[in-house]
């Protein structure tokens, strides 16, 4: 009969943890698997793996290639016309600041309107950019799509 006192784990499913550094009898005594003397056997060793003594490190020996545009990419936010249809009524003015107040964008610095969804209300939308389909949908619904000019840099 099976009861709690007769249950035990399947053979090989429970592995005993190695008890390192607990004397000669542990089988891992003396150097506690750290090898012999030297910097890496001592406590407080923070030597970086990339250091190779006096030799030129591998990272610096291998030629570099490739280019990332991440530093130059212009961050912007996108809003679909379907979202505008849900949040705004006909005849309302929509601009990046109002979109931010309504929670459709996080930052109002660069907003592009995309054409995903349906727009039934005639809205006057001001944004930094519009997709071709979004502009067509806004004008088809009887609204206006106004592009906000970029600010000139101070000289």
- Any idea which residue has 């060793």 for tokens? 45
Q: With respect to CATH, is domain 77-147 assigned 3.40.50.170?
A: no
In this predicted model, what pLDDT tens digit does every residue of 101-146 receive, in sequence order? 999 999 878 999 999 999 999 999 999 999 999 999 999 999 999 9
- Any idea which residue has 């964008």 for tokens? 105
Residue 28 in contact with residue 19, Cβ under 8 Å?
yes
In this predicted model, what pLDDT tens digit does every residue of 5-32 receive, in sequence order? 999 999 999 998 888 888 888 888 888 8
In this predicted model, what pLDDT tens digit does every residue of 58-70 receive, in sequence order? 989 999 899 988 8
Work out the angle at residue 30's Cα, subtended by the Cα atoms of residues 46 and 12, and round it to the nearest 5 degrees. Answer: 90
pLDDT value for 152 = 56
């Amino acid at each position: 009969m099976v009861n709690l006192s007769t249950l035990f784990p399947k053979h090989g499913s429970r592995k005993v943890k190695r008890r390192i550094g607990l004397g000669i009898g542990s089988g891992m005594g003396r150097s506690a698997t750290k090898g012999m003397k030297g910097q890496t056997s001592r406590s407080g060793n923070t030597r970086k793996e990339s250091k190779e003594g006096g030799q030129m490190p591998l990272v610096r020996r291998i030629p570099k290639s490739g280019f990332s545009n991440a530093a130059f990419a212009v961050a912007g936010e996108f809003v679909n016309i379907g979202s505008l249809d849900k949040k705004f009524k006909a005849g309302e003015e929509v601009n990046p600041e109002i979109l931010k107040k309504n929670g459709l964008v996080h930052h109002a610095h660069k907003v592009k309107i995309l054409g995903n969804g349906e727009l039934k209300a005639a809205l006057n939308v001001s944004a930094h950019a519009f997709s071709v389909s979004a502009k067509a949908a806004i004008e088809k619904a009887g609204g206006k799509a106004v592009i906000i000019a970029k600010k000139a840099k101070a000289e």
